[in-house]
Chain A
Amino acid sequence: MKPLTSGIIKEALEQGRFVLLETEAKDICMEYGIPTTKQRIAKSTIGALEISQDVGFPVVLKIVSPDIIHKTEIGGVMLDVKNAKEVREAFAKILDNVRKRKPEARIVGVMVQETAPKSTEVIVGAFIDPNFGPTIMFGLGGIYVEMLEDIVYRVAPITKKEAEDMVREIKAYQILSGYRGRKADINAIIDILLKISELVINCPEIREIDLNPIMVYEKGAKTVDARIILSK
């Protein structure tokens, strides 16, 4: 296991936390070479402003708390924050919302994240199947996964050929391979699948990973939201 990842997992387990913070999940992704958005945790308005300058406007602000899983529902997420003034307002608003709607929640800070430009969204996940153990899933974001159940699986670890098969096997493959002049970087997806496979095989403590969505561009990809759940 890689040092940063093992440290994060160890600390979380010691604190009795099984759902990692989004920043922790993304740090693990980055250590394994999975591209994610740039973000850091701000403890104050000034901190948030500094990070915003670093990652570039517009930014996304999200509450970071081990007690809050569904951040949007309680008003813990502010999108498309365009300038310093809006950062100050958003920062205050998020803390205010959380204090009102989830007063008992422990607050680590507010995550300031770059806004990933919209593009084709895909989902990559992994979980422990009761029969086959660590298993990787892949699908196109939005209705493709939710309504059409256009999802493919492979038992981990996967080979490069198997990762390629996964991408090609979804019914909506044409949307990735080229449709109305828009193309997605399929190699970037294959690379993420292989790295997720490596990660779940390396870390038996991980029960579930969900990278949703990942924006796939003509060149490269970026994980916008990441969730990791550990086994109890």
Chain B
Amino acid sequence: MSNRRAQKGRKELPVQGPKSLEPFFDPCAVAVIGVSNDPTKIGSIIFGNFLRPGFRGNVYPVNPKHKRVLGKKCYTSVKEIHGSVDLAVIAVPAQAVIQVVKDCVEKGVKGVIIISGGFKETGPEGAEREEELKEIVAESNIRIIGPNCLGVYNSTSMVDTFFLPEEKAGRPKIGSISFVSQSGAFALSTMDWMAYQGVGISKCISYGNGCDVNEVDLIRYLADDPATKVIVIYVEGITDGRKFMEESRKTIVKKPILIVKAGKTKKGSVAALSHTGTLAGSDKIYEAAFKQSGVIRAEGFQDLFDMAKTLSLQPPAPGNRILIVTNGGGAGVMIVDACEVCSLEVPELPSHVQRKLKEQFPPHFSTKNPIDLTGDAYDLGFGIALDEACLRYDGVDGVIICLLPQVPKLTIKVANIIADASFKSRKPIVACCMGGEFTANVSGEIEKRGVPIFPTPERAVDAMWALVKYGENLKKGNKR
């Protein structure tokens, strides 16, 4: 059955369809064009990336000026390589790019990543060069990512065209977030940061000027990519807004899309034009389009990755009624405030639920909502609260836990108790945990078990908001 479907699928897909992006992510043979004996040159670093043990395909260096580079036979042209080449990575000066791409077409290369800059972002001459690239794409079966980009990182196949030395720019572990970025610098710093934070990634694509493959193609590809659970996008402008909306609407019923759109202010949008040459347009219309297509907009970097992490770990919330479980009264109030700002409801628990809690708790624990376990909180107290007010009661749609592990009776075991509830629950749970070293350890243990945790109440609430929003969008999307 699955085989038949696959064959049928292949037939129906046009050459320019999503399948044609496969060579970018899982190529058997790669040519790197512009490799030299200088190890600090962009081409050489990229070539070195493919020599790492993780990449299982063949890799060929190309440079007409050399017979051997970095101890390997070097080819004068991609056409000289025996056997097929799926992906070519081009890091040569802009003036030489067109000819190299034409060689790739002749060779039958399926995908080309053009790292080189010097195209529409530089002015009329570069724009003309970019038009030539577009013509080549239109007249052949080749697909291009770039120019003016970092290309592709795939944590499982270890395709890595990022020309940043690994000792300076970390590569994240395998994960389920895929990241699409118009800006190379944003992609690179994000990857480095994710690696440092221990957040996993599936794929990262910096597509630069997007002369062929753009955000819409990448959304379509990632929508059907089983390794991707959350799609994160950074754009300065979108070229075909309607296609973007159409593709996003189709995708969000499968997985959430988060977006940061830079160029929010008037000055910012002028800067965007000179950056990747895309007209930023009125931000308010983007805002509307995102809302209409169920794309969740993040305000900034931190917000984006808080939400991405949360959506990759927790299920969407079926509604906006939030239960708060805390052992710090003040922090509980702060969460209530933040919920109010985000239009999340904090309903009081009904008397039958409160009665059950009171039966098991000491009299000074508050059982309304927030449930406050006070400074006398003990590990199992969190378990009881989650069991009675979340797992056995369907009047709440998600839980925010605020944990102050500093109190005498709490131990690291509380991490297991929270994780256990999260595992059993179909509703999402997020947590915040404020404090020093011991707190950080507890936080680490909780997050390791799949409950996203944040150092401030506000960030935990924003993360829950994203789960509520995604739940809403999902309902809307399924109705359409």
Binding site for B on A (CB under 8 A): 129-133, 135, 151-155, 158, 161-162, 165
CB <8 Å contact, A132 and B284:
no
A134 — nearest CB in chain B belongs to which residue?
B242
Report Cα–Cα, A56/B291, bound state, in Å. Answer: 45
6 nearest interchain CB pairs?
A: A132-B241, A131-B241, A153-B288, A131-B281, A153-B285, A154-B288
Residues in B whose Cβ lies below 8 Å from that of A131 = 237-241, 279, 281, 285-286
Report the tally of A-B residue pairs with Cβ distances under 8 A.
Answer: 46
Residues of A within 8 A of B286 (CB): 131
Q: Is B282 an interface residue (CB 8 A)?
A: yes
Taken together as a complex, chains A and B put the C-alpha atoms of A84 and B265 apart, in Å, by 54
Q: Is the CB of A162 within 8 A of B241?
A: no
A135 touches B285 (CB 8 A): yes
Known: A130-B281, A131-B279, A131-B281. A152 touches B288 (CB 8 A): yes
CA distance A133 to B281 in the complex (A): 12
Cβ contact of B285, chosen from A155, A158, A161, A162, cutoff 8 A: A155
Set of chain B residues within 8 Å of A158, measured between Cβ atoms: 292
Q: Is A132 a contact of B279 with CB atoms below 8 Å?
A: no
Most-contacted residue by chain B among A131, A133, A154, A162 (CB, 10 A): A131
Partner of A155, one of B239, B240, B242: B242
Taking CB atoms, residues of chain B closer than 8 Å to A152 are 284, 288
User: Residues of B at under 8 Å CB distance from A?
Assistant: 237-242, 245, 279, 281-282, 284-289, 291-292, 476
Q: Would you list 24 pairs from A and B whose C-beta atoms are within 8 A, ordered by A residue?
A: A129-B282, A129-B285, A130-B279, A130-B281, A131-B238, A131-B285, A132-B241, A132-B242, A132-B245, A132-B281, A133-B241, A133-B242, A135-B288, A151-B284, A152-B288, A153-B284, A153-B285, A153-B287, A153-B288, A154-B288, A155-B242, A155-B289, A158-B292, A165-B291
Docked complex Cα distance between A166 and B218 (Å): 30
Is the contact region of chain B dominated by helix, strand, or loop, or is it mixed?
helix
Q: Which residues on B sit within 8 Å (CB–CB) of A129? A: 241, 281-282, 285
Q: B292: which of A130, A151, A155 is its contact (CB, 8 Å)?
A: A155
- Assess A155 versus B245: contact at CB under 8 Å? Given A131-B281, A132-B289: yes
Min Cβ gap B102→A in Å is 32
8 additional contacts, CB 8 Å, given A129-B282, A129-B285, A153-B284? A130-B279, A131-B281, A132-B281, A132-B285, A132-B289, A154-B292, A161-B476, A165-B291
Q: Given the complex, which residues of B lie within 8 Å of A133, measured CB to CB?
A: 241-242
In the complex, A162→B245 CA distance in Å? Answer: 14
CA distance in complex: A143, B289 (Å): 26
CB closest chain-B residue, reference A155: B289
Chain B residues closer than 8 Å to A155, beta-carbon distance: 241-242, 245, 285, 288-289, 292
* Cα-based distance from A158 to B285 in the complex (angstroms): 13
A152 to B287 Cα, complex, angstroms: 9
CA distance A131 to B245 in the complex (A): 11
Q: B288 contacts which chain A residues (CB < 8 A)?
A: 135, 152-155
- A114 to B283 Cα, complex, angstroms: 39
| Cα(A131)–Cα(B261), bound, Å | 14
How many angstroms between the C-alpha atoms of A155 and B244 in the bound complex? 12
Q: Which residue on chain A has the smallest CB distance to residue B239?
A: A131
How far apart are the CA atoms of A161 and B239 in the complex, in Å? 27
Please give me the residue from chain A that is nearest to B480 by CB atom: A159
Give the complex CA separation of A99 and B385 in angstroms: 83
Within 8 Å CB of B237, what residues of A? 131
Closest-CB distance, A108 to chain B (whole angstroms): 35
Q: How far is the CA of A152 from the CA of B291 in the complex (A)?
A: 12
Q: Which residues of B contact A162 (CB under 8 A)?
A: 292
Instruction: Give Cα A162 to B279, complex, Å.
Output: 26
Instruction: Please measure, in the bound complex, the distance between the C-alpha atom of A135 and the C-alpha atom of B284, giving whole angstroms.
Output: 11
CB of A127 to closest CB in B, whole Å: 10
Complex: chain B residue closest to A152, CB-CB: B288
For residue B293, which residue of chain A has the nearest CB? A155
